[in-house]
Amino acid sequence: MFKFLLIVASFFPQQDGKTEVLEAWYMDDTKEDQRLPHYREPKEFIPIDKLTELGMISWRLNPDSWENDENLKRIRQARGYSYVDICDICPVKLPNYDAKIKNFFEEHLHTDEEIRYCLEGSGYFDVRDQNDQWIRIAVKKGGMILLPAGMYHRFTLDTDNYIKETRFDPRKIANPPVERLSSRLPAQSASLKPLTRSDVVLPIFKPSFVVCFRYLRILLTAAQ
């Protein structure tokens, strides 16, 4: 089933030009400003679709008419996203900006999947690969990514200091972060060691026939 989903996903029409709004690379280990790109030397870029192996899903959509975007409507319907809110992250618009930016950059996970859609600006999501190495994902206007439940990650703005993002969820209930050092939840037990495909991807794609059917449905409807 997993291989079949990857094959179908490779033919998504909305993925055309995805690299213009989403880019990924391995990070260096320096302690410089977190808002810098932190490229390795030489640079080690990663194909965005390679992140599927970590359980992630990504899209390129039209942020200028997102409320009427049929592709986004199909994705939301297939995944059951009924709740949506918009967040402006920048020094002048986000209350308690310094404290919140610090919290965003603490490594954490969520017990539900996390999906973020960039409407304006840009920022970085950092995740770990199967060998526990940091991958930095640059998200620009029009890029949308989904992080599976239990996946360790962190977020920071880039040097432009601004992103406007839309968050989706099946229900209006908080999906609070659980920090790595303090967590003991089942959803993160797989993330306490280096990630593997069985740790992250298989629980997402084979917990039940119903869940597998939902993922197949989103792939087929988005391709129409």
What per-residue confidence (pLDDT) applies to 73?
A: 96
DSSP secondary structure code for residue 20 in this structure:
G
Residues flagged as binding site: 108, 110, 114, 153
Overall pTM surpassing 0.85 (yes/no): no
Cβ 52 vs Cβ 18: under 8 Å: no
**Residue 136, beta-bridge partner list:** 25, 126
What per-residue confidence (pLDDT) applies to 178?
A: 77
Residues flagged as binding site for Fe(2+): 108, 110, 114, 153
The H or E element that residue 148 is part of is none
Give the pairing of strands 134-140 and 57-60.
Answer: unpaired
What per-residue confidence (pLDDT) applies to 58?
A: 96
What per-residue confidence (pLDDT) applies to 171?
A: 72
**CA atoms of 119 and 87, how far apart (whole Å):** 10
Radius of gyration of the chain (CA): 17
Encode the chain (224 residues) as per-residue pLDDT tens digits.
Answer: 444 444 434 334 444 579 899 999 999 999 999 999 999 999 999 999 889 999 999 999 999 999 999 999 999 999 999 999 999 999 999 999 999 999 999 999 988 899 999 999 999 999 999 999 999 999 999 999 999 999 999 999 999 999 999 999 887 666 667 777 754 444 444 444 433 333 333 333 334 444 444 545 555 555 55
**CA atoms of 135 and 153, how far apart (whole Å):** 9
What per-residue confidence (pLDDT) applies to 8?
A: 39
**Domains along the chain with CATH numbers:** 2-222 (2.60.120.10)
Residues flagged as binding site for Ni(2+): 108, 110, 114, 153
What per-residue confidence (pLDDT) applies to 224?
A: 52
